[in-house]
Amino acid sequence: MQVHKPSLIVNAFSVYCALIGILLFLAAPINVIADESSLLDVDANGKQTPLTDGLLIIRHLFGFTGTALTQGAVDLQGQRRQAEDITAYLNENLSTLDIDDSGKTAPLTDGLLIIRYLFGFTDSALLTGAIGDSATRKTAADITGYLQAMSNAGASISVGDGDGETTLSAKSFFEASVSSVVLENCQVCHRENGAAGSTPLRYIRPPDNAPDDPQVMQQNYETLRSYIVNGNGETLLNKARGVGHGGGAVLSSASEGYSTLEEFVGLVSAEAGLSDTSKPPIATVPEGFFKPAALLSARSTLRRASILILGRNPLPSEEALLDGEDPEALSNALTALTRAPGFHAFVTRAANDRLLTDAFLEGIPLEQSNIEGNPFYPLATNAFVAAQAEAAERFFYWPKYSHWRWGLTRAPVELIGYVVSNDRDYREVLTADYMMMNYAVNDFLDGGASFETADPDTLPYCQDNPNQPCFDHKVFKPGKHRGQVLLDEYLVTEDTDLASTKILEHGDFVDYPHAGLLTTQAFLNRYPSTETNRNRARARWVFYHFLGIDIEKSAPRTTDPEALADSNNPTLKNPACTVCHQVLDPLAGAFERFGDVGYYHESWGGNDSLPYNYKSAIPDPTSSPSYLIGETVAVDQTTFEMVSSLSVNLQAGTVYYRVSYLNDAADSDGDRNVFYDSLSIYGPSETQIIEFENLPEDSIITGCGGPGGDSYGQYCQGTLVIPITTTESGTHQFELRAREDPFGSESVQLNIALDLQADSLDQLGYQTGDTWYKDMRAPGYLNKTAPPDVESLSWAAQAIVDDPWFAEAAVKFWWPALMGSEAAVAPEVESDAGFDAQMALFEEQNTFIQLLGAEFANGINGGNAFNGRDLIVELLLSPWFRANAAIDSASIEGKLGTRRLLTPEELEAKFFHLAGFYWGDDGGFSEWQFDGRYSHLTDPLNILYGGIDSRNVTQRADEMSAVMFNIAEKMSLATACEIVSREFNLPKADRRVFSDIDLETTPSRLVVEAFNAKVSNTSFETVIEFERDLPIGPITAAISFHNDYASHEFGDREALLKQLTITEPSGATIVIELANPPDGAKIVGCGNLENDFYRLSCNSTLYLPINLSQSGKHSFALTAAGEQAGDEAVAIELVLVQTSDVEAIGEPALKNQLAALHWKLLGESAEDDTEILASYDLLLESLQQTSDQQALGLEDWPYQSCQNHNWRGEPLNVSDANGMKGAWMTVLTYFMTDFKFLHE
Amino acid sequence: MKRRTLLKLLAQTGALPLMGLSMRASGLIQDGYAGPLLLQIQAEGGWDVTSYCDPKVNQPGEKAITEWSNSAEPLTAGGISYAPFANNKTFFDRHHKKMLVINGIDTQTNSHTTGVLHNWSGRNAEGFPSLTALFSAHHSPGSAMPYINFGGFGATQNVVRFTRLQDNPEQLARVLEPNLAGYHEPNQWHDYEGPIYFRNQNDVALVDRYRRARLERLSGDSSLLGRQQNNLKAYAAALEGRAALSEFAPYLPKREDTIAPVEGITNIKGQIQLVSAAFKAGISSAADVHMNGFDTHDDHDAMHTVQLSYLNEALDLIWQLAEQGGYADRLTVVVGSDFGRTPHYNSQQGKDHWPIGSMIVMQSDPNWGDRSVGLTDPLHNALPLNPDTLAVDADNGTIIYPKHVHKALRQLLNLEGTELDLRFPFNNTESFAFFS
């Protein structure tokens, strides 16, 4: 902030007020004379800013009109404010707005260029994805030059002593410019009884018909001025930007409102003669936040998004959608990812990271899922009873019971998944009049959805229960909850012979009032309530998740004992408490119908969910406005005596004597009661005696009790209100006789009061029909109260989604899943190191979020409003996701851009798409686990790898530790052999990793060919026969057995090799009897000689060195047999390896393969081959090392890198004739433990 | 003992079926950390110190503040007064000389989030690391697990990285030596006896060499964004720190010694066992142990009895293990919670949130021990104190806030004046003479 002189001379300051701040910085006094404005100054306020003018242009180009065009995007001080005027203006200049000179003016090219330019983007950050196909103006220099010319067109701002100058005072500046900023941005909370009503800044709103009401203006001016004069100018500006502000950031430092406020602080400070102790404004990155950042290319963006969302690289069909850096094409490709299998799982996983409702899969009991004698859910309870009756035994495990709990648990996140994956209106997450149900929930809640039966072979629980219909418990459909009844007199139960409880009769099923996920059992149970919490935790999390507001941070709490020494309903009345509670409590009240664990109207009788203690509480009689006198007395004798004597001066008429029994107690050993004998009233001359066994007819009685004998017995907490009419004025004495039935250590406590009205306390306590606490704010949302004739939670949900905060909160909701960190929050302490950088980051991000939130609410890129898929795609397109490198050593701080640590789930998905299996997956099936299977990474090692359990650990670790690295390395070491071995057993087209090479592709050797046969005969015959042109020299024939199998039931599968015959071009033959292999022959695996053949008894390879003496066509014939077992024929392979050196024959192919792996696994392109060469060197060195170790077999003890996992398919082929499997394992380990494999 | 022999011996114990690693080692591993140690216990939910270290009795005319005071008076152990509740007597009688109780700490909030933030970072605004993070960053940033965290407050502000552990030594043991696949006993097929590895160690070393060379290339990139730089540093630190992990297994508790969780209670004893092993081995200097369950809005006394009993047992275990491990004289223990609980019961016999709480600091027989400082009135309101005399000073005194405790702890732990202390300062904060 700069020093200001006491007064300023301006002309037309109302238009150019914001510029003053800038010009003042140069010299003062300064006169600003405005000429006509820039072409980009759409609202004609003398400035061109991205979030007003830029937004107006892009909205216009999308076809928005009316308030959809102008809402939140027009400076109210601008001269062009009306939507129709703006539309006309932009239509008039449409051709000029064709920034890239493509012949058409489009929102995602020209509009985007304008808004980026106004944000200060340059170079690639300006251009990326925003140049149309037919553009002729393509370079950053051309575009910037054109826009600069447009900015200057017609605008001339001169400085000097112009005519018509006006002296500007703080007061006049306030009236002209500041008042509207305050009323728009501050007054909603900063008002009497507002959210910030306890602060010194409380403004008043002028009447609608007198917006410039001078008294209002004066009061608001004085309020703000006083605050600044008291030394709070800088605090004011900081709070406006969100620093320590309960209301968050309301004005970014780039906004016009902030400039105005800043200017006003300067004027007031100057007029008050305050020395300027402030510091310059936060220095944001000049010319745009992302200027120093290079963004990922479209292809890399697609890859990163695909891996983070789906765990795999993009498919060729998805990559084909790209068109260079065209943003629309990228958007289409990203959208294609969101239509792929796996997106739904991503959405639900991301949703759980926020809602944490999967905690019920991790051991937290889901109270509502209990169906053992649960009177609320008769369909479920009786179904369980019936299942046990059918089985004639009492059991606890019942698949359908598990699926019911599973279905209830997953319902909230499945709703979000359903809404987003099906392009439904995102607001349905709170407003849906249905919930997501699997088959079990649908059955038990009478949901009305229909489910198709599943293939029993895919679901073990179906195979275990062949007589039951088979349904997949993971299939969810929308249904209506019609399965709950109330606890009332219609409920009749009986115990069964199997110690279960059956519901014989019950009242009507509840017409359950759905409000999206808010009314799901899991949400209500995850955020349970108590009698004292009164749904505030639920409200708090709704504010946090769906309105983006952390109320717990919204205001510091005073702990001044005096301020808190207040028992008169402080949350409603004490300013120290109301600052939060007036925001929180109405929404808490909106949950009025749901009990502590979430049942609808769970109180006995089914009229409400209010606790008995509240309903039976006796209001404090002193709070009655017509209270006269009273006392609390103890009754500690068992014979009737006078226990209370009250004296009061009365006028003739009727008063009400109220006696309340406060402390009923009982157990099996006794019962505390009170008995009333008589009440004597002694007036100045008359005396009345009321015998309690004969109370006046119009007495009011609550609680349980009644007359008996010569007294009235009160057996539980309750009150008697006795009307007493006096005919004379004067002092009256009221004497009560009573006795107690003692119980426990306490005496009977009675409260006695005289009141002029009989029912004045009624409004303070529970009455039949109430559904919410009398001493709480009425159910509603913020300052609006839910109408009495609607379901308040459904009403509140609608009010929430109608609030602009909801759309912004949606952006924040999805931010962590895509960006790997929470959305930035404003730093709170200005003296903190890094405050400026954090503030700059926050402001930039907050502005983006606000803008995207507004677009989301209106429909992104012309799409439907509130489309969750579009929102996710837009986030992926943003520089926050795509920032990849700093340019010219400039740095951008903050957790943004690429290379965030993968979560265990993300790493596992990436691994799966590399390996085709999960690490440690034993092929088993778990119907309870979220993913239905076991794996080392996401089950026992989940927490150690930084994951969450949604229960005790709810924040993910985002930095690697040594333990985490070890986990990653162990996974790679334990699996590399299986990956490599299985890969090379597949046809190239089916491979995930090594699709560019053969196993026989070595750096310096040429594979001649491989031949395969399936042998089912047990007698020897020729099984492989072929011809091949070969040069003179040594070759190796490697004969392998690939599919070993053994079982006690079906026997052992083995290969029997008898003879290899090679016919040379001359016709001469080389006959190798395999029972007598030549010198140098080697077996890798297990085999043995038998009579006249060689038996391969496990997957193994026999290597036969052969020296060819002729060149030309050679014929090969292998005689073999198979000992058959199991379903498959014996698989035998004959590979010829040319052992004479052929210079670097395999190198190009190997490098191509490595380049592909660098891209696929690490996201590195082949442009710089340094890394590919390094990887190739590793391959070579590993190959040499393996050779040196003479350990070509992969199962040589003590190494166990190749554990067979037969349930994943064929047994491993662990033969490694040329050492390449071992070398590739080494390289694969290198990749799988690389920084970029573990960070995307 | 040769490693092979050791492994065989460990396998014979049957402690860990896969790795067969289980034996208490003695002393630090080579080049292990031998400096001061810090263990913080985060009792999450807000504990009731009126039934613990700031005992309160019922006052005439006021609602009951503690049910136990209907029939008992506060007890004392040395210079410390405590409530005759749960198993407090055993704990305080045994350990009072080790502890300084700081009562009347005002966390200025009744929200869990802010209470946790305030108590464990020293202020109620975000931006400061936990004391544990500061401590470990100063003392042993290069250790294998410099800062252990079990899921509680663990803000690091990038001064150090935490290692997330869980109360399961078996799972941790499985990943300490990544290349170790198991241990083999001779059988009818193989007469080999000994450890089984996934790959030849030379192959593993080869990968490591190439990985480090690549890391150096990646780190030399001058165009890294802030996140990229930070995550690369974390990755590099992980590579450096893990060497000691392979030697850590023998320090882990045997399977039969592993403390099993108690149903419904956070298994901090299991957490403490792991921390103790890490301290003993010299691969860590600081840890946050995290126990939830103190948020007793209903049935308060019964639930707090269970919670405090377990907490006391856990604290006792800490010192038992510290004595056994030979590091007791290097250890500082800090115990605290989000805040306190209301000085009355609600209608469900629960207690709600109350901003005034306490912390306990323990060392092995310190000269500042066996004392309670900080004062609250009979209704558990904090009283202003003179920072020097610690006496009530209504005129010039100040309420104790977490910042005062943290400032004093930084001084006690020799962090005062360090670069980290200056980077996260408590400016204009009174210095309370808690530890003098």
For B289-336, the DSSP string reads: EEE-----SSSHHHHHHHHHHHHHHHHHHHHHHHHHHT-GGGEEEEEE
Mean pLDDT of A745-753: 90
Residue A532 is predicted with a pLDDT of: 85
* pLDDT-wise least confident of A105-119, A189-203, B161-175, B394-408: A189-203
Identify the weakest region by mean pLDDT among A186-195, A320-329, A852-861. Answer: A186-195
Among residues A429, A787, A796, A789, which one has the least CA distance to residue A587?
A: A796
Contacts of A1234 in chain B (CB under 8 A): 211, 214
Mean pLDDT of B348-365: 94
Given an 8 Å threshold on Cβ–Cβ distance, is B181 in contact with A613?
no
How crowded is the C-beta side of B125, counted as CA atoms within 13 Å? 18
pLDDT of residue B391: 95
pLDDT of residue B38: 98
What value does the mean pLDDT take over residues A263-288? 65
CB contact under 8 A, B125 and A829: yes
With contacts defined as CB-CB under 8 Å, which chain A residues touch B174? 940-941, 970
d(CA A924, CA A611): 46
Nearest CA in chain B to A614: B347
- Position A166 scores a pLDDT of 44
Neighbours of A933 (CB within 10 A): 16
- Taking residues B56-78, report their average pLDDT: 93
Q: Letter for the amino acid at A556?
A: P
Sign of the C-alpha dihedral computed for residues A1058, A1064, A1070 and A1072 taken in this order? negative
Give the integer Cα–Cα distance in Å for A853 and A975. Answer: 44
DSSP letter at A938 equals T
Q: What percent of chain B has a predicted confidence (pLDDT) above 90? A: 75
Cβ contact A1126:A1054 at 8 Å:
no
The angle at the Cα of B31, spanning B28 to B34, to the nearest 5 degrees, equals 55
| pLDDT of res. B8 | 45
* Yes or no, beta carbons of B207 and A1178 under 8 Å apart: yes
Q: What is the mean pLDDT of residues A948-952?
A: 90
Confidence of residue B163 (pLDDT cuts 50, 70, 90): very high
Q: Which of A812, A913, A802, A813 is nearest to A865 (CA)?
A: A802
Chain B residues touching A962 at Cβ < 8 A: 144-145, 163, 237-242, 245
Q: Which of A1-10, A738-747, B40-49, B371-380 has the lowest mean pLDDT?
A: A1-10
Classify B356 as helix, strand or coil.
Answer: strand
Q: What is the pLDDT of residue B193?
A: 82
Which two tokens mark A1198? 């003590």
> Which of A12-21, A913-922, B335-344 has maximum average pLDDT?
B335-344
pLDDT greater than 80 at residue A591:
yes
DSSP strand pairing (B99-106 vs B356-363): antiparallel
Predicted pLDDT of residue A237: 86
Quick: pLDDT tens for A690-709: 999 999 999 988 888 899 88
The stretch A1013-1036 carries a mean pLDDT of 86
> Residue A629 and residue A753: Cα distance in Å, rounded?
6
Contact call for A557 and B110, based on CB within 8 A: yes
Mutation target to probe the B interface, by most B beta carbons within 10 A, among A291, A829, A966 is A966
* B15 vs B205, higher pLDDT: B205
The model's pTM:
0.78
Among A955, A957, A965, the residue with its CB nearest the CB of B239 is A965
pLDDT at residue A891 in the model: 63
Q: Which residue has the higher pLDDT, A551 or A823?
A: A823
Q: How confident is the model over A303-328, as a mean pLDDT? A: 96
The pLDDT of A385-412, averaged and rounded, is 92
Amino acid in the structure at residue A981: S
Q: What is the mean pLDDT of residues A1131-1151?
A: 68
Q: Which two tokens stand for residue A92?
A: 């008039």
pLDDT of res. A1061: 96
CA end-to-end distance (rounded Å), chain A: 41
Distance from CA of B326 to the nearest CA of A (A): 25
Positions of E strands within B128-269: 147-149, 162-164, 180-184, 194-197
* pLDDT over 60 at A282, yes or no: no
3-state secondary structure of A94: coil
pLDDT higher for A452 or A1030? A452
Which pLDDT does position A451 carry in this prediction?
97
Alpha-carbon distance B415 to nearest alpha carbon in chain A (angstroms): 18
Instruction: Tell me the C-alpha distance between A928 and A287, whole Å.
Output: 53
Residues in chain A: 1240
Confidence of residue A272 (pLDDT cuts 50, 70, 90): confident
Interface test mutation site (partner A, options B128, B227, B247, max chain A beta carbons within 10 A): B227
Q: What is the DSSP string of A1053-1109?
A: EEEEEEEEEEE-TTS-EEEEETTSPPTT-EEESSEEEETTEEEE-SSEEEEEEEEE-
When mean pLDDT is compared across A667-681, A860-874, A1038-1052, B35-49, the lowest value belongs to A1038-1052
Q: Is the CB of residue A836 less than 8 Å away from at least one CB of chain B? A: no
The reported pLDDT for the residue numbered A18 is 28
**Which contiguous run of DSSP H or E holds residue B11?**
helix B3-13
Q: Return the SS3 of A659.
A: strand
CA A889 to each of CA A835, A845, A879, A1168, A1239: distance values in angstroms, whole numbers, following the listed order: 21, 22, 18, 19, 22
* pLDDT on residue A573: 54
Site of tokens 């059992």? A521
- The secondary structure element, H or E, covering residue A327 is helix A327-337
| pLDDT value of position A550 | 85
Q: Is the pLDDT of residue B36 over 60?
A: yes
CB contact under 8 A, B175 and A966: yes
Instruction: Please name which of A403, A418, A407 lies closest in space to residue A516, comparing C-alpha atoms.
Output: A418
Give the best-scoring range by mean pLDDT among A61-75, B148-162, B312-326. B312-326
Query: In this structure, which amino acid lies at residue A848?
Result: F
Decide if pLDDT at A12 tops 60: no
**B116: closest chain A residue by CA:** A552
HSE, CB side, 13 Å, CA atoms: give it for residue A1079: 1
Region B59-85: what's the mean pLDDT? Answer: 94
Rounded Cα gap, residues A850 and A856, in angstroms: 10
**CB neighbours of residue A697 within 10 Å:** 6
Residue of higher predicted confidence among B69 and A29: B69
Nearest to A1121 by CA among A1101, A1147, A1095, A1152: A1095
Helix orientation angle between B201-219 and B226-241, rounded to the nearest 10 degrees: 150
How far lies B118's CA from each of A560, A838, B131, B138, in Å? 17, 20, 11, 21
Measure CA A154 to chain center.
Answer: 48
Confidence of residue A559 (pLDDT cuts 50, 70, 90): very low
pLDDT tens digit string along A497-512?
A: 888 899 999 999 999 9
First-to-last alpha carbon distance for chain B, in angstroms, is 46
Spell out which residues of chain B touch residue A899, defining contact as CB-CB under 8 Å: 225, 227-228, 231-232
From the list A891, A955, A1189, the residue facing B225 with the nearest CB is: A891
Q: Quote the pLDDT of residue A286.
A: 41
Which residue intervals of A533-672 are DSSP H helices? 536-546, 561-564, 570-573, 575-590, 612-616
Q: Is residue A235 within 8 angstroms of chain B, CB to CB?
A: no
Q: Check if the beta carbon of residue A378 is closer than 8 Å to that of residue A490.
A: no
| pLDDT > 80? residue A1148 | no
What is this model's ipTM?
0.92
Which A positions 908-947 lie with beta carbon below 8 A of chain B?
940-941, 943-944, 946
Q: Which residue has the tokens 């109350």?
A: B354
Mean of the per-residue pLDDT values of chain A: 85
Give the mean pLDDT of A99-117. Answer: 84
pLDDT at A1000: 76
Confidence at residue A276, expressed as pLDDT on a 0 to 100 scale? 53
Query: Which of A895, A943, A963 is facing B227, going by the closest CB pair?
Result: A895
Q: Cβ(A994)–Cβ(A857) under 8 Å?
A: no
Residue that wins the pLDDT comparison between A739 and A768: A739
- With 90 as the cut, is the pLDDT of residue A115 above it? no
